[in-house]
Structure 1
Amino acid sequence: MLTPDRIDSEASALTGAVRELARRTHFPVSFGGFVDGGNAHISAIHGSRTRSLDGLNVRVMRGLGGRVMAEIRPRATPDYGAARHITHDYDRHILGEGISTLLAVPVIVGGRVRGLLYGGAWASANVGEVVMKPAFQVADALATELRVRDEVERRLATLDGATAPASGALGPASPRAQGGAATPTEPHPSLPAAHREELRESYAELRTIAAAITDPDVRARLAHVEQRLAALSGDDDTAQLTSSVSLSPRETDVLACAAIGATNAQIAAQLSLREGTVKAYLSSAMAKLDASTRHAAVTKARRSGLLP
């Protein structure tokens, strides 16, 4: 079940995508909505001249968008009113706005349509690749954002399930019991080795995802998860060290990937960096941590609470 914050966040992302579609394709009117229960509920509209599009709900196989949902591919028509390859259930909405040319693009996440983006023009015109390509890019960007949000929620659920303390294990005054980060000297709860490795892999994966995300809300959520992961895992038999070392975001990214065994070439591919740049970041992190090898750097970073 989506939380109110998640619903607001996704609504904001949809509004941004609809505006970006209009900006990049130059369609005078654009609109879109998320798919729920087989219907696409249009909730974001930009550039309309009337209120005809308000309340539009598109069902699978009905209208242009319904074909897109069923076929999981984009469709366009230069003359919506005369189009014979679609049903005309929504003529009141589309023709009421005066739209002739209509493009519908699916937002695909995990092989299914999570949303629809539309571009419309009042004059009849063929929709070519010059228009299609940026429309696809906008839909892909929204799909990526939704995937990241899904992954954050999944990781949070996994994290909460794997690290939930037994009744009475942590008193109410404990920072960890209240969701706060552990201090460097606070002992970690006993976690099975498999759970520790899952947390470390999750951390490295989220660092890799975060490196490619520009949305500030998504980055803030990722940073919150990363902080929790960094505080929750560690070697129980090793005393935590208090450290004043501060790694840069890229040094942390590279070291987090190295911590789960990635080679320089693999790290470079994951973070879209040159291999020489990866070596430079590793060397810098090792110098800050006073470590002679990457393994030693990872160990010191974990003891210092910089890595899970």
Structure 2
Amino acid sequence: MASVEERSSRTITTAACLIIGDEVLGGKTKDTNSRYMARWCFSLGMSLKRIEVIEDDEAEIIEAVRRMSDRYDLVVTSGGIGPTHDDITYQSVAKAFGLELILHEGAYKRMKKLSKPKHWEPEFNWDVDSPARNAKLRMVQLPIDPSRNLAKQALFVSDTLWVPISVVNGNVYVLPGLPKLFEPMLGGLKQFIIDRLVDPEGKGISRIIISTPMPESSVAAYLTELAARVEPKGVKVGSYPRWGSKNNSVTLVGRDAEYLESLVPEVVENVRGKRVSVEGEDDEPETAT
């Protein structure tokens, strides 16, 4: 089993995303963070291996973060770090790795400086103990290992945000679930991990889309042979039906853009298709027969 220091310094090639929240599973809110995470990983050349959605349950969170931390280079959690009773991500992650929740003084100072007073709290005072103040403090009590560098355990991605990214066990990054916070914070995380990426210049992974009028059954044999041939080169071949359209999509995904480009003429010929920049740009509605 890797140590915390090993997890916090090794090259990042694989990633996972853990969405936490009863409201997502109950259909109350739509999860867009996993999609944003997928695009972010793709742009940075990371292979997103798993996305899970679980409820606000301590045992579920503990099991999931332990397993993901062991299996993947980078794990991002989304949700459950607010001020209410059902926001239990921090305490659950702390228990998962045997840590205590400790008030992060830097985050607390930033919270007091950047938080705007609410009209329904006209009498609120940071210096006076109150239920409202205690609720706010829950959001800056982080899972912290006192023996490690504190700066590596709470990352501030912007001068305009007081919310830190809590880093636990070296590779678990705890983020809020609100998309307007999740997205800029995940984007800001890049600056802290750029030197650990396979491609620090940010070329990421390339995807080529070829539109074909042929049904999947007609190109299945060729694509199976192609996939086996290019797999040693790190290329994945995909086939996706586009319901309601006359055309389907074939994709080539990999890190070696030059090699992918070399495959295009062959694939276009064998699937009788054409290359498109965006899936569906050549769609034509199916006509009834």
Q: TM-score, normalised by structure 1?
A: 0.28
Q: Which has the higher contact order (CA 8 A, sep 6+)?
A: 2
Greater Rg, structure 1 or structure 2?
A: 1
Q: TM-score, normalised by structure 2?
A: 0.29
Structure 1 or 2: larger strand share? 2
Structure 1 or 2: larger helix share? 1
